[in-house]
Structure 1
């Protein structure tokens, strides 16, 4: 818990300084799912949003949050002793035995790949002692580290509880954060895993039909399924076509195939509509008489047809498509106006100046005396001449 609190303080500072992105609409997609979000995995730009902030039940997509929290906060090589409470869980399991000792990483694999509810509870109790403490800490972690605003989890596996809820937007943010961890990304993208436990030896296959290859789709790199009678069908998917990486979440589909069809529509839309560009470090953007610039080369998401960049007086740069629909937004740094530099005149040292002035005065004085002497001599000579004439 001390470790979590220290991380919490650090992350709160980091999170408040991050680049902001905002949702872009795409009403032309006809999705069956009630909630959906598509993110650019690299920039975080929201490429599609449908009922993105509506309260919904996540079912087993909860395990994405449980996994990244356990990876961040736990020791993957530590040994977990499975409790009676863990083996008593309903739904999908990896058939753990009470008292069985299993490495934490293996439990995370069983939870994500085979959606083991028993593995999820074993993880929670190992990390924080009880499911209740785990849920409290998980909620704080998700808010502080990832910035979710509408999520409250009461268990680690997603079994239905009225107070266990989230949104499509929050789940997309959680998934997108998680895939940046290489351990999570590896497990999230695992299709087949040999499993050897005390009571169960089998080959685990991912439940995600697009990742497995049953419903082929180019570039799918990871995924997690979910279902309860209250949540309906839920699905999280990541994909990469070599040009752009995408994170898609769909929630509350009535039929299993609907969530896959909707995900395919989202990914196709992302592949065909958006691309990456870079705003170069130091590039200047002007708003009235104010100037702004990015401190580093900054990756942005834009329409394949090009984009329009608009900046307001606060330095917020908006990336829009040709129809004026905002795709992404980021804060630029204010450029202080340059002050005109005045070139100082070279001033002589006082002592040198006095010496030079004295020398000039002496010369002038000698010239005046010489001139006066010559004038007086000339006048006396003329006076004597006039006297001789008279």
Structure 2
């Protein structure tokens, strides 16, 4: 017993050492799996800190969610009052949403953020409320935005965990991902034909071929801040460091540790049967429930945590059912913080069965019958008994 106990202690010690086998100078830091949001490693991740220009991730995301790329933003009259302006917008200057996104994320344009705030919400204060509301929708609990650009404000703080959550959501947008991995771009603007070339402040993009974003930040109170993303062999992780002494070293150490210590394995392919769905009033009592999305499982190397499957079907799932029809959702968990949700699709056609007569009718048959009745083509003759027709349709919103 003593030998077994000692072995268990040694194993636990080795695992703990593996979790802290790299140095991070940042006061707060976190690594998450971009697909599931699972936390791979963290350090003081819930303490609110100054985010500096990493704030612009939220501003850019709201710009994508609220505007079209071809929409035009007009710089407000007071735009030249913005401190540390880097785009040097002029009052009334026009710039497209597409080009403004590059200005925010590459040049880190503080004045551009104010122009975006007033374009979307009418004022910086109203836009800050929108930022906080969106953060709450995403589940952030230690966030208080007070401006759109991250210029120092004692009330403008966020935790590393919340910043990772926001970055993960932003990286779901194709437009955002394309912008944050760009190193240089030429934009169009109405007032300054000379200042058109934007160079990304994120120098890590040139150092690491697997890097695909996201945003640097710095003020004296905030220190060095960075939200990074890297994809290796199809596996993306997101890192956050706040108040770092050397964000590049921190980020590199975190990336190397994550990719070394975690495996990404295919759990389910698109169309795999994940469960059986019960069907009422149908020619089949149950059908295969097929997963709509490809699912990858993230786990520490050398471990195989069991995956729990929870299905949530459409209420009163009743025939007729068409193959490929959405019939519910599945939630996959493994007890380590990994959680993935996906829609479920019907794996077979199911005809409707009338309870009294045992006759079957497909969904297509109902459409033909209804059309014929409407056209007055079918004449029903009743002989000593009443004929009843049953129809049932199921819908999911």
Q: TM-score, length-normalised on structure 2?
A: 0.67
Q: Please name the residue that 2:108 is paired with.
A: 115
How much does 1:29 deviate? 2.5
Following superposition of structure 1 onto structure 2, how do residues 266-277 of structure 1 map, counting pairs within 5 Å? 266-277=254-265
Mapped contact 1:82–1:100 kept (Cα < 8 A): yes
Q: Which has the higher contact order (CA 8 A, sep 6+)?
A: 1
Q: Please name the residue that 1:337 is paired with.
A: none
Deviations along 1:20-77, one digit per CA (max 9) or x if unpaired, are xxxxx93332100111111111222111111111111111000000000111012321
Tell me if 1:251 matches 2:242: yes
Corresponding residue to 1:300 among 279, 286, 297: 297
Give the secondary structure class of the aligned counterpart of 2:298: strand
| Shift in alpha-carbon separation, 1:106–1:317, aligned structure 2, 3 A | closer
Q: Please name the residue that 1:58 is paired with.
A: 51
Corresponding residue to 1:133 among 123, 126, 131: 126
How much does 1:162 deviate? 1.2
Q: Please name the residue that 1:76 is paired with.
A: 69
Mapped contact 1:301–1:327 kept (Cα < 8 A): no
How much does 1:79 deviate? 1.6
Tell me if 1:147 matches 2:139: yes
Higher alpha-carbon deviation: 297-306 or 268-277: 297-306
Corresponding residue to 1:178 among 170, 188, 196: 170
5+ residue gaps, structure 1: 1-24, 285-293, 321-325, 334-390
Q: Please name the residue that 1:353 is paired with.
A: none
Q: Please name the residue that 1:241 is paired with.
A: 232
Higher alpha-carbon deviation: 195-204 or 227-236: 195-204
Q: Please name the residue that 1:31 is paired with.
A: 24
Following superposition of structure 1 onto structure 2, how do residues 206-245 of structure 1 map, counting pairs within 5 Å? 206-211=200-205, 213=206, 216-245=207-236
Work out the CA distance in 2 between the residues paired with 1:204 and 1:83: 22
Mapped contact 2:141–2:162 kept (Cα < 8 A): yes
How much does 1:195 deviate? 3.8
5+ residue gaps, structure 2: 1-17, 276-288, 312-329, 344-397
Work out the CA distance in 2 between the residues paired with 1:328 and 1:49: 15
Give the secondary structure class of the aligned counterpart of 1:162: coil
Higher alpha-carbon deviation: 300-309 or 119-128: 300-309
| Higher helix residue share | 1
Alignment RMSD, CA only?
Answer: 2.8
| Shift in alpha-carbon separation, 1:270–1:104, aligned structure 2, 3 A | same
Give the secondary structure class of the aligned counterpart of 1:123: helix
Q: Please name the residue that 2:380 is paired with.
A: none
How much does 1:305 deviate? 2.4
Work out the CA distance in 2 between the residues paired with 1:225 and 1:194: 20
Mapped contact 1:302–1:327 kept (Cα < 8 A): no
Q: Please name the residue that 2:153 is paired with.
A: 161
Following superposition of structure 1 onto structure 2, how do residues 309-328 of structure 1 map, counting pairs within 5 Å? 309=306, 319=334, 326=336, 328=338
Mapped contact 1:207–1:225 kept (Cα < 8 A): yes
Q: Please name the residue that 1:341 is paired with.
A: none
| Shift in alpha-carbon separation, 1:330–1:123, aligned structure 2, 3 A | closer
Work out the CA distance in 2 between the residues paired with 1:187 and 1:278: 29
Mapped contact 2:310–2:332 kept (Cα < 8 A): no
Corresponding residue to 1:100 among 93, 104, 108: 93
Q: Please name the residue that 1:370 is paired with.
A: none
Give the secondary structure class of the aligned counterpart of 1:224: strand
Q: Please name the residue that 2:82 is paired with.
A: 89
Q: TM-score, length-normalised on structure 1?
A: 0.68
How much does 1:278 deviate? 3.6
Deviations along 1:102-154, one digit per CA (max 9) or x if unpaired, are 1122112111110000000001100011111111112112211x221111111
How much does 1:313 deviate? 12
